[in-house]
Amino acid sequence: MVKKIITVISAGILAAAVMNFTAFAQPLDRTSHGYGQGTEVDENNRPTGAEMFNDEMNQYGCYAMLEDNGEIYLTFDQGYENGYTEPILDTLKEKNVKAVFFLTGDYAERNEKLVKRMLDEGHIIGNHGMKHASLPTLTDEQVRTEIMSLHDFVKDKYNYEMTLFRPPCGEYSEQSMAVCNELGYKTLLWSFAYPDWDVNNQPDPTAAFEKVTKAAHGGGIFLLHSVSSTNAEILGRVIDNLREQGYTLTTPKL
């Protein structure tokens, strides 16, 4: 009788283990999602959309916002160069602020002087995809090529090994982010962004300053585009204001 009970228990444990392994081995979701932080915030002004993203995607090394520790992280997407990166770097140097610059392959290839200046002045450069391709539309092998071809180019040309990734257009899937994580990358989305990328329709500087500074929150990852004349104009005042609000401007420690 005791042997029978033990056999039944053992069979139950084995069945549970098989079920858990089967669940774990299920293919990850390849559904494409377009990220946005939304407009809802909690009592600390932290976007609830970014918090929800973290809850779902932290397991793949993805972050839309970091710990509420009184720090804000300025990040710039570098799709192409039209003359505003240099004044942005001038301001960051003047204010003693380090930022993250996410480079596409074309930017890394065409703008050696600016990329070297970013590195020389202590900024982080991140991977924004060799061809700025939407990762969920690619096979796993194509995702690896999209990321690692730029990784290897930057390592060879600039003697720098990137560790941070930002998916082009904020488009991601569970599967594509898992592949990024397997490649040793942490993925940064953002908890603040605004329409600053259209060079033919730049936001009013006064309104932009108000929008950026009123969005301040601890652990905030701010996405700005370096093609923006408005960003170049207001950046110094934004930095001063965020510091006046009590925030430290630094780079992520992941």
Domain interval for residue 171: 35-249
Three-state DSSP at 226 gives: coil
Residue 16: pLDDT above 80?
A: no
**22 in a domain, yes or no?**
no
The tokens for 79 are 């799709």
Q: How many CB atoms lie within 10 A of CB 26?
A: 7
Q: What percent of the chain has pLDDT over 90?
A: 87
For residue 226, report the phi and psi dihedrals to the nearest 5 degrees: -80, -10
In CATH, what number is assigned to the domain containing residue 164?
3.20.20.370
Specify which residues 126 forms β-bridges with: 102
Q: Looking at per-residue confidence, does 249 or 6 come out higher?
A: 249
For the chain, where are the alpha helices, taking DSSP H only? 2-24, 48-57, 85-95, 105-110, 112-120, 140-158, 174-182, 205-214, 229-244
**27 in a domain, yes or no?**
no
Number of domains in the chain: 1
**9 in a domain, yes or no?**
no
**134 in a domain, yes or no?**
yes
Instruction: Check residue 182 and give its pLDDT.
Output: 97
**2 in a domain, yes or no?**
no
Report yes or no: 111 and 81 within 8 Å, Cβ to Cβ: yes
Specify which residues 76 forms β-bridges with: 101, 224
- Mean residue pLDDT of the chain comes to 91
Instruction: Give the active site residues.
Output: 77, 225
Report yes or no: 175 and 30 within 8 Å, Cβ to Cβ: yes
**10 in a domain, yes or no?**
no
Report yes or no: 191 and 216 within 8 Å, Cβ to Cβ: no
Specify which residues 165 forms β-bridges with: 127, 187
**192 in a domain, yes or no?**
yes
For 81-125, write each residue's pLDDT tens digit. Answer: 999 999 999 999 999 999 999 999 999 999 999 999 999 999 999
Average pLDDT over residues 198-207: 98
For 136-164, write each residue's pLDDT tens digit. Answer: 999 999 999 999 999 999 999 999 999 99
At residue 25 the predicted structure's pLDDT band, cuts being 50, 70 and 90, is low
For 55-70, write each residue's pLDDT tens digit. Answer: 999 999 999 999 999 9
Residue 10: pLDDT above 50?
A: no
Average pLDDT over residues 17-42: 74
Q: What is the pTM of this model?
A: 0.89
Average pLDDT over residues 36-41: 94
User: Residue 174 carries which side chain, given as an amino acid letter?
Assistant: E
**24 in a domain, yes or no?**
no
Instruction: Check residue 27 and give its pLDDT.
Output: 84
Residue 19: pLDDT above 80?
A: no
Identify the CA nearest to 54 among candidates 240, 250, 187, 233: 187
Q: b/e per residue, 98-110, with b = 16+ CB within 10 A?
A: bbbbbbbbbbbee
Average pLDDT over residues 72-79: 97
Q: What percent of the chain has pLDDT over 70?
A: 90
Report yes or no: 171 and 134 within 8 Å, Cβ to Cβ: yes
